[in-house]
Amino acid sequence: MKAKLSDKKVNAAMSAYTWVMLIAAALGAMSIGLVIYFEQSTLIILVPIICFAVMFISASQVERIKKRKNLRTYAEIVAFTDGQDVEEQRQKRDPAKNRLEKLMIVGGFAVVVCMIALVSVFIFAIFK
């Protein structure tokens, strides 16, 4: 019973950090346009820096939780959050495939953030 309760706490923390990371990344990317629009203000550069710092800290916390709970694959994370047996998923690990998946996730995330930043720059350039 105690393990189940602590897992719920870990699941809630992992979800919260993930949402903070995603929101901070989106806000940081959107604020790039602000930097272009208000180029005369040197303090405006702090907005994306702070947002991306929050995103990085949240991502680090998620990775710490995954490391502490020995979660490496998406299937393991889903099994963990659903309260299922994670050990069954651990036996299916393929290190090469895991590296490729991580690379694709990080790469995809970076592409999406860059696209949001470009759209933001384009929109703020229209109003300049």
Write out pLDDT tens, residues 64-103.
988 887 777 777 777 777 777 788 877 777 778 778 888 9
Please classify residue 29 by burial: count the beta carbons closer than 10 Å to its beta carbon, then call 0-12 exposed, 13-18 middle and 19+ buried. Answer: buried
CB 90 within 8 A of CB 76: yes
Q: Would the pLDDT of 6 be above 60?
A: no
Rounded Cα–Cα distance for residues 56 and 27 (Å): 13
Alpha-carbon distance of 121 to 86, in angstroms, equals 43
User: Tokens at residue 64, please?
Assistant: 């710490």
Can you give the pLDDT at residue 4?
Answer: 47
A 10 A CB-CB count for 18 gives 15
pLDDT above 80 for 25: yes
The whole-angstrom separation of Cα 67 and Cα 80 is: 13
Average pLDDT rounded to a whole number, residues 33-56? 92
In this structure, which amino acid lies at residue 10?
V
Q: pLDDT grade, residue 3 (50/70/90)?
A: low
- Summarize pLDDT for 31-42 with one digit per residue, the tens: 999 898 888 888
Instruction: Report the C-alpha gap between 78 and 122 in whole angstroms.
Output: 37
Token pair 């970076």 in the structure block, residue: 110
Distance CA 62, CA 79 (A): 16
- Reported as a single tens digit per residue, the pLDDT across 7-16 is 678 788 888 9
The most distant pair of C-alpha atoms in the chain lies apart, rounded to whole Å, by: 59
